[in-house]
Chains A and B, each alone.
Chain A
Amino acid sequence: RKEVEQDPGPFNVPEGATVAFNCTYSNSASQSFFWYRQDCRKEPKLLMSVYSSGNEDGRFTAQLNRASQYISLLIRDSKLSDSATYLCVVIGSNYKLTFGKGTLLTVNP
């Protein structure tokens, strides 16, 4: 089983749609969780951290289920500018960042 696995995508959605990404991780000792966004040919940028209680930032909601070793990202009211690759990132006890392969989202007008 891969350390971090994401929906393979790609996702193509119309503007205004709600889209959800899922991510599972294999190491139960993982400590911290993030979603990064990467635009084409650009560097990854932190979108949001994922807290145990779940957290929301505007149109974005992140959730963590430690029992199931599962992380999700929900984007509401999709905008054209949300088109990017979304990377699930997990940090283990050795503080190593492990990235998922990413899920490509395209929001269409």
Chain B
Amino acid sequence: DAMVIQNPRYQVTQFGKPVTLSCSQTLNHNVMYWYQQKSSQAPKLLFHYYDKDFNNEADTPDNFQSRRPNTSFCFLDIRSPGLGDAAMYLCATSRDPQGPSYEQYFGPGTRLTVT
């Protein structure tokens, strides 16, 4: 049974055209994360929500925004995608940010292509 679901799996957008990626979870976890992973690179954390508290990484471009309307859903909005934003976008969840329950569960990712 899928626990972290990402839609769509593949997204093609045009340069400068806003795009939204979605993530949902059935785990009822408190924390949801968005990572960007480019080819042959490590996943890079963009931001995360701990419940409703939004935590942005210092080097995340303003072009990237996120929304978490409820516990189950989290969205990644790219306001004006550039060619350099083409990547795999991974959503992950964890029960708590600290302690033994820290394991992060990843969704299958959305591969974004910018044309």
Binding site for B on A (CB under 8 A): 4, 31-32, 34, 41-46, 49, 87, 91, 95-102
**CB <8 Å contact, B103 and A46:** yes
Least distance between A2 CB and chain B CB atoms (Å): 10
CA distance A33 to B48 in the complex (A): 19
In the complex, 5 of the A-B residue pairs with CB atoms within 8 angstroms, ordered by the A residue number, are A43-B90, A98-B45, A99-B42, A101-B40, A101-B41
Q: Are B97 and A95 closer than 8 Å at their CB atoms? A: yes
A44 and B45 form a contact (CB under 8 A): no
B69-115 contacts to A, CB under 8 A, are: 88, 90, 97-98, 102-104, 106-109, 111
Binary interface profile of B, 24-46, with partner A (CB < 8 Å = 1, else 0)?
Answer: 00000000010000001111110
B43 interface neighbour in A32, A42, A44, A45, Cβ under 8 Å: A44
A102 & B42 in contact (Cβ 8 Å cutoff): yes
CB distance from A57 to the nearest CB of B (A): 14
Q: Which residue of A lies closest to B106 (CB)?
A: A43
Bound complex: CA of A44 vs CA of B37, how far in Å? 11
Total B residues in contact with A, Cβ cutoff 8 Å: 20
Whole-angstrom distance between the Cβ of B10 and the nearest chain A Cβ: 11
Cβ-defined contact, A44 with B90, below 8 A: yes
Min Cβ gap B37→A in Å is: 9
Using known A-B contacts A95-B97, A97-B45, A102-B42, determine if residue A43 contacts B104 with beta carbons closer than 8 Å.
no
- Asked if B106 and A45 make an inter-chain contact with CB atoms under 8 angstroms apart, the answer reads yes
A91 partner residues in chain B, CB cutoff 8 A: 102
**Residue among B41, B42, B88 with the most chain A CB within 10 A?**
B42
CB distance from B96 to the nearest CB of A (A): 8
Given A32-B102, A95-B97, A95-B98, A42 and B108 touching (CB < 8 A)? yes
